[in-house]
Amino acid sequence: MISTKQMRKITFILVGLVCLPLPVFAAGASSKMEAISAKASEIAGEATDLAGKATTKASILADEATAKAMTFAGKASTLAGKASAKTSDLANKLININTADTSTLAKIPGIGEKLAEAITKHRDTNGLFTQAKDLLNVDGISDSLLKKIEPFLQF
């Protein structure tokens, strides 16, 4: 048999854990212990139900995130393929640095409109380029940029 002191201690612990006012008597319970046990079982059942719902929601969200990531990856792959094809097409058609106009030069990866204008201006002022290294005399062209654009050039 549980003493009154032990019952108060159990009641206090349960109240602290589940934040419910006690004693709570379930229908048909003949003692405080049965009422507490019934309420604890009810709370455990609710907690299990909530955990199941949370797991289901997490699974749905994970599936949605996976689908979105796959869609994004597919779009990125398509764009990368298009960019690669354009670069490949450009590489197959070397651009003559001494005859190309500004708009043609601007199509070279790393060369924008302003740099293309600087190249044509330098060419018009100083004469034709005889080798790739001559482009280093154009303002805005560095060693690293020259290495990047050189495969697209013809002299």
pLDDT digits (tens, 9 = 90+) for 97-107: 999 999 999 99
Burial category of 124 from C-beta neighbours within 10 Å (exposed 0-12, middle 13-18, buried 19 and up) = exposed
What does the DSSP 8-state code read for residue 97?
T
**Cα gap 108→115, rounded to integer Å:** 10
Contacts of 90 (CB under 8 A, 6+ apart): 107, 108, 109, 152
Enumerate the β-bridge partners of residue 153.
95
Residue 110: CB atoms within 10 A of its CB come to 13
**Cα gap 153→31, rounded to integer Å:** 94
**What does the pLDDT read at residue 119?**
98
The more confidently predicted of residues 69 and 20 is 69
Residue in this structure with the two tokens 């907690």, named with its chain if needed = 47
Instruction: Please compute the mean of the pLDDT values over residues 87-108 and round it to a whole number.
Output: 85
pTM of the model: 0.44
Domain limits, CATH 1.10.150.320, in the chain:
93-154
The more confidently predicted of residues 19 and 68 is 68
- Say if CB 135 and CB 97 are below 8 A apart: yes
What's the fold here for domain 93-154?
A: DNA polymerase; domain 1 (1.10.150)
- Say if CB 35 and CB 29 are below 8 A apart: yes
The more confidently predicted of residues 47 and 20 is 47
pLDDT digits (tens, 9 = 90+) for 39-68: 888 888 888 888 888 888 888 988 898 888
